[in-house]
Amino acid sequence: MAYNGRWPAVTDVQWVFVPFYQNNVGVTSQRSTVHKWDDGSTTHENCPRGLQCKHGGYIGPNCACTCPLGLTGRECTQVVHSSSGCGGVLTGSSGKFSSPGYPQKYPISTSCTWLIQGRAGSSISLKFTSLDIEEDVNCFYDHLEVKTYGPTLDGPRYCGNTSPGEIRYNGNALVVKFVSDQQYTNYGFEAQYSIH
């Protein structure tokens, strides 16, 4: 089962109310252009030169990068590590990663973010060799999100036990996020990636 993250365009602003998103009403998780202007992030002429915020981050009013959710660091090149010890930056030409505890059941209340980082001009392929995540119609509760529209936009969510097949991403930095809620757990996932 998958939710592909696409909704009709209401506005070009990313921080808007989106009715029925995952059967809930709420706001998206990213700052909008309007909010960036409001917090002074687009007027950073007094900041030291040389700061390059990556992966959709921007220079905030404190002259530091404000990073997309799940990313951190001076230039938004590191992932936020969870208490489960999962997630990380993957830079090898190929490799595997999995949900915490795999092949045993993953813990409740977990959030893990992986950044698959290739060289400039490279692309990434991702394939799930195993997928067993709590299933619900919109993948709202436990889910695996692959940010194929870029690090700052919601991507397709996967849950259940049907693999989406190979995912090809034309960019060189792919963010993958796994989330479990406070209730049911399954056996999780294992994924293989290749950087081309």
- Reported as a single tens digit per residue, the pLDDT across 38-80 is 444 445 677 878 888 988 889 988 899 988 878 889 988 888 8
Selected from 2.60.40.1120, 1.10.10.10, 2.60.120.290, 2.60.34.10, the CATH number assigned to the domain covering 81-195 reads 2.60.120.290
In percent, how much of the chain has pLDDT > 70? 76
- The distance from CA 152 to its chain's CA centroid, rounded to whole angstroms, is 8
Of 14 and 142, which is predicted with more confidence? 142
Q: For residue 165, what is the DSSP state?
A: -
Q: How many CB atoms lie within 10 A of CB 190?
A: 17
Least confident piece of the model among 76-80, 119-123, 192-196: 76-80
Q: For 80-117, what is each residue's pLDDT tens digit?
A: 876 667 898 999 999 999 999 999 999 999 999 999 99
Domain ranges of the chain: 9-77, 81-195
